Structure formats: C-alpha cells, structure tokens
Chain A
Amino acid sequence: DIQMTQSPSSLSASVGDRVSITCRSSQNIKNYLNWYQQKPGKAPKLLIYAASSLESGVPSRFSASGFGTDFTLTISSLQPDDFATYYCQHTYTTLITFGQGTRLDIK
C-alpha cells in the first residue's frame, strides 16, 4: 500500500500568517493527490484535487502544488475559519490512503 506522510503533525499560527503543510507519498503517485479540511464533528471537506486544482467555492487563499512524491498545501493569509485539521489523500490506486493529518491551531 502507498503510505502518505504529512508534516508537521501540528502547527500554531496567527491570523494573517502564511502557512504550508507538506505531504509525501511512499511512491510516485503523479498528481493523484487531494487535500481536505476537517473541523470537529464534521465530515472532511474537499479543498484541492489533482494536486493543484482548487475545488469550486474554496477561497483562493488556498493553493497547492506538487507531483510525484512531494506535495504542498499553502494558505496565503490565515483566516479564523481556517483553523482545522488538514489531510492529504492519494487516489493513484484503488487502495486509497489518507495522511495522518496536520492540526492547525491559533497561536
């Protein structure tokens, strides 16, 4: 199975900060990489698909890049609504796996 490793596991930041989260896959997954945001008690919400495509309705302060094994999600200017947990997910094979998550807290 393909393993997905996110870093950092947790991150403290302030409103207005620029933050980045990385996700590394254990093998080449081309651009079959998606990012989700999850808030407590809610289902994950799709932010980015195909490594860099912004899902409809998601604010443009979210962006992402990467190909192969290394991927990055960036939030350009943190807003209060962005404090949540973020997960990457690969869909390169039918056996899908998620990263362990990055919790983004208010500093």
Chain B
Amino acid sequence: EVQLLESGGSLVQPGGSLRLSCAASGFTFRTYDVSWVRQAPGKGPEWVSTISGSATGTYYTDSVKGRFTISRDNSKNMLYLEMNSLRAEDTAVYYCAKVRLGATRDFDYWGRGTQVTVSS
C-alpha cells in the first residue's frame, strides 16, 4: 500500500525557515517523481515544486523560487522541502504527492498534509 506521511510543519515567524519531510513507502521511491502541493485556508490546491526520481530535475512555482528547495534521499525514501524567508502567504497545509509514471503525470497518491503557519 502506497503511503506518504508529511511532518515538520509548525508556527514560524515571518522571515524564518522550516524543513518539511515526507516519508514514502509501498512503492519503489527512486522510480517516481514526487511533488509538494499546498493549500491555503479556504483556497484551492497550489502546486509548489516537483523533483524527478533521480533528483536531476527540480521545478518550482514562481512565488517560491529562490526561497524553497526540494530534495530527496532515495536511500531513505524521503522527500524534503526546505523553506526560507517565509512569508504570511506561505501559510497553508503542505501535501506531498506521488506523480504517476508516464505522460499524464497526475498525482495519484497524496499524504495527509502538514500545517505551516507563518505569523508573528
């Protein structure tokens, strides 16, 4: 059974930093791209970042470029999101999601999410 479990969310002050983790199981982690998606209160999902299975390719939405870094450790089946210079608008539930192999690249499995709140 595919499982994704996020952790690391918390309350942080504006300008602060946080590292989110996502533990994956139930599939051959290194084979799949994985993504972070966030959802602000009362809003729809927003794609944040994707990393390829081999970690050779990383992609970011414009609003987090230069502040967030996605990475993975395939030996530990772990996905990470390093978040710096956090802003109030980064407040959201952050989900990790597995990307289906093939052309469609939909998100076929999601974790339960971890809450990030940026506030003084």
| Chain A interface residues (CB < 8 Å from chain B) | 1, 32, 34, 36, 38, 42-46, 49-50, 53, 55, 85, 87, 89, 91, 94-101
Contact = CB atoms under 8 A, between A and B. Distances in A.
B40 to A, nearest CB: 12
A44 B98 CA distance: 12
Contact of B45 (A1, A44, A49, A55): A44
Given A94-B59, A99-B44, A46 B107 contact: yes
Nearest to A4: B44
Contact of B108 (A1, A46, A85, A101): A46
Given A42-B112, A50-B106, A96-B47, 15 more contacts: A34-B107, A36-B45, A38-B45, A43-B112, A44-B37, A44-B107, A46-B107, A49-B100, A49-B106, A50-B103, A55-B108, A89-B107, A91-B104, A94-B59, A98-B45
Given A43-B95, A43-B111, A94-B50, A87 B45 contact: yes
A43 B113 CA distance: 7
Nearest to B4: A43
B111 A91 contact: no
A47 to B, nearest CB: 10
A35 B104 CA distance: 12
A43 B104 contact: no
B46 A98 contact: yes
A8 B95 CA distance: 26
Given A94-B50, A101-B44, A44 B104 contact: no
Contact of A44 (B59, B62, B110): B110
Interface in B56-111: 59, 61-62, 95, 100, 103-108, 110-111
